[in-house]
Amino acid sequence: MSNQHCPGFESNKTLQEIKVKCPKCGQEKELFSDELNKQVTCSGCGATYDPAANKVA
């Protein structure tokens, strides 16, 4: 163990997986918590919606 100080890349963000549901057709979709502020396009019906307002509990 000699390389203790190797900055490299810090891809250790803790991203949470979040399940959301299309308000139109009910299709569920999983995304990461950093995508909650983007609009989601439903793969079922093509609608776009706000994932933060449509989380599945």
Task: Decide: is 21 part of the binding site for Zn ion (CB under 5 A).
Answer: no
DSSP state of 35: G
Task: Decide: is 48 part of the binding site for Zn ion (CB under 5 A).
Answer: no
Nearest to 42 by CA among 19, 26, 57, 53: 26
Assign 31 to helix, strand or coil: strand
Task: Decide: is 15 part of the binding site for Zn ion (CB under 5 A).
Answer: no
Task: Decide: is 27 part of the binding site for Zn ion (CB under 5 A).
Answer: yes
Assign 37 to helix, strand or coil: coil
Please pick, from the candidates 25, 38, 41, 48, the single residue that binds Zn ion as defined by CB under 5 A: 25
Binding residues for Zn ion (CB under 5 A): 22, 24-25, 27, 42, 44-45, 47
